[in-house]
Structure 1
Amino acid sequence: MFFVTPSISAADTLVFGGCSQLKFTSGSPYEYTVDSIFTSLVNSAMFATYNNFTMPVAATGGSTTQDTVYGLFQCRGDLNNGACNRCVAKAVSQIGTLCFDSTGGVLQLEGCLVKYDNVTFLGEEDKTVVEKKCGPSLSPYSDGLGRRDAVLSYLEAGDGTYKPFRVGGSGNLQGVAQCVGDLDPRECQDCLSDAVGRLKTDCGAAKWGDMYLGKCYVRYSEGRDHSYAGKGKRFRHLFHGGFSFLFLVVYIWVGFA
């Protein structure tokens, strides 16, 4: 077992994105608050790889109720501050277009995650399958399956210390895992264990596999074979917080170096 570092060359590559079907009024205090959240995410990414913000929306028209906007970003653990800031800025720009006038949205790039909503999700464990992809089967004459299981076991167990970002490899088989920073160590471990179990069950003896849950992901690949090799697009819905999110998933070539 040895450590590997994923390539950062495709940090701004789109993995998936989704938007709430609920809309806010253009020019409203809610839009101003979302813009403020976005600005805070980008600015904070210059100094940290994770942060979250909670901002109340100014009540209008004598209303006694008040909305709140919640937002977070997270960069892949190997990105430096400059790369993290550029990735988050790209994600904020894309989610602002993809989710125009939506009260909530999420965007996962290769190097970072951005999410906002008016329903709190901070500190809540979420093991909903958001995206999964499996490659072709490993050669029955190779030892790839054993090495795959060893890498996934390492990513699941770690080295005994709490590490929300983990990388590992065996031979030319490499893997990476990460939890969102608002999870505590127990929740992170629970999420990663679930993702690893689902990868083994759903992808079987595949040469590569991705399992993105709501608050963590686990990925592995053999050599340079990896997912998103096509150029097709598909739409699907994920129900979250009582609202329906419309997801756009784009398959493109990426890989671990």
Structure 2
Amino acid sequence: MSRTLTMAPLISLLTIALLTTPAISSVDTFVYGGCSQVKYTPGSPYESNVNSLLTSLVNSATFTIYNNFTIKSPTSEDTLYGLFQCRGDLSNGDCASCVARAVSQLGTLCLDSTGGALQLDGCFVKYDNTTFLGVEDKTEVLKKCGPLIAYDSDELNRRDAVMDYLATSDGSSKPFRIGGSGDISAVAQCVQDLSASECQDCLSEVVGRLKTYCGAAASGDMYLAKCYVRFSKAGAHSHGGNVDHDENDEVEKTLAILVGLIAGVALLIVFLAFLRKACGKGKCDK
């Protein structure tokens, strides 16, 4: 079993992305997910640790918006690390609901995988058998821009000022930040296992990249492994511009097919088990 899994190869192995509005939107909106290609053996101690960890994340989300856990094992390769992070403006109830949904989707997308990560609009969940807790990681996970707009220096200056504000420390070390100016709004967040200085470094990096990548776009989203920034002009969405509509349609179809196939296989296994049990009792036709 591989003991190494970082966000970069994790996302390159399997990434599914679907963004709607770049500012605050539905808590359960799917953003991205990634899984390790390395599988654990069903019924193994590792599976037990995964189940224990994910259960702990869901339970903990009922009273806090961030927590991390380490599940110790006699063998280092079976030791497991995980965390969840909810958006800073969510209530405990919304946070718990989001984390429960993320864990459920992660269990489907990353079935028997030794590591996985999933980001919904309202929360982030990750687990791995190599520790990533407290490790700064500015790997680019996802980026997307909305439609280009007519160049307006005042509007662009206000947009840049809002993002610069989010990336500037006010001495409070807030991991979740929102800002706005006129019809421009933005939101930023760091995963709370980062120190205050690491959070500032991450947000400064993502703001610089987002300005360059999205140029004069009406909206933009950029996620690094440990922080993200999203901005939008009122009424703008992350569709058009650099976004391929057909690609998004194919992503939705692929996700639906994947979930359907997994559900179909599960039903077939249940049916075959029932049939075998019935035959064992002599109820099959001779």
Render the CA deviation track for 1:112-164: whole Å, top value 9, x for unaligned: 00000001100000000000001122222463211111111111114332111
Q: 3-state DSSP class of the match of 2:167?
A: helix
Q: Secondary structure at the match of 1:48?
A: coil
Runs of 5+ consecutive residues of structure 2 not aligned to the other structure:
1-22, 256-286
Which aligned pairs between 1:3-152 and structure 2 lie closer than 5 A?
A: 7=24, 10-57=26-73, 59=75, 66-141=77-152, 143-152=154-163
Residue 228 of structure 1: how far off its partner (Å): 5.7
Q: How far apart, in 1, do the equivalents of 2:72 and 2:152 lie? A: 59
- 8 A Cα contact 2:188 2:229, kept in partner: yes
Secondary structure of 1:162's match?
coil
1:43 Cα deviation after fit: 0.3
The alignment partner of 1:163 has SS state of coil
Aligned partner of residue 48 in structure 2, secondary structure: helix
How many residues align? The count is 225
SS at match of 1:157: coil
Contact 1:138-1:144 at 8 Å conserved across structures: no
Please give the residue correspondences for 1:170-209 in structure 2 after superposition, counting only pairs within 5 Å: 170-209=181-220
Q: Write the mapping of 1:212-223 to structure 2, written as runs, cut at 5 A.
A: 212-223=223-234
In structure 2, distance between residues paired with 1:20 and 1:155: 32
Q: Which runs of no fewer than 5 residues in structure 1 stay unpaired?
A: 1-5, 60-64, 236-247, 249-257
2:172 is the counterpart of 1:155: no
SS in 2 for 1:167: strand
- Measured against aligned partners, the alpha-carbon deviations of 1:4-59 in whole angstroms (never above 9, x if no partner) come to xx645x10110000000110001111001000000000000001000000002355
Q: Distance in 2 between matches of 1:203 and 1:105?
A: 28
TM-aligned CA deviation for residue 227 of structure 1 = 1.8
Structure 2 match to 1:232: 249
Change (3 A) 1:143 1:233: farther
Kindly tell me: are residues 44 and 21 of structure 1, through their superposed partners in 2, closer, same or farther at Cα, counting changes over 3 Å?
Answer: same
Higher strand share: 1
Q: CA deviation at 1:233?
A: 4.3
The answer to whether the 8 Å contact 1:47/1:81 transfers is yes
1:205 is displaced (CA, Å) by 1.3
- Output one character per residue of 1:230-257: Cα deviation in whole Å (capped at 9) or x when no partner: 443459xxxxxxxxxxxx8xxxxxxxxx
8 Å Cα contact 2:146/2:220 also seen in 1: yes
| Percent identity of paired positions between Structure 1 and Structure 2 | 64
Preserved contact between residue 177 and residue 218 of structure 1 (Cα < 8 Å): yes
Give the structure, 1 or 2, with the largest relative contact order (CA under 8 Å, sep 6 or more).
1
Give the partner amino acid of 1:190. D
CA distance in 1, matches of 2:238, 2:149: 14
- In the alignment, the residues of structure 1 paired with residue 187 and residue 24 of structure 2 have an alpha-carbon distance, to the nearest angstrom, of 11
Show structure 1 runs of 4+ deviating over 4 A.
none
Q: What is the alpha-carbon distance in structure 1 between the residues aligned to residue 42 and residue 230 of structure 2?
A: 39
TM superposition score normalised by structure 1: 0.83
Which has the larger helix fraction? 2
Q: Secondary structure of the equivalent of 1:232? A: helix
Match of 2:284 in 1: none
Give the aligned residue type for 1:156: A
Report the Cα distance in structure 2 between the residues aligned to 1:176 and 1:73, rounded to whole angstroms: 19
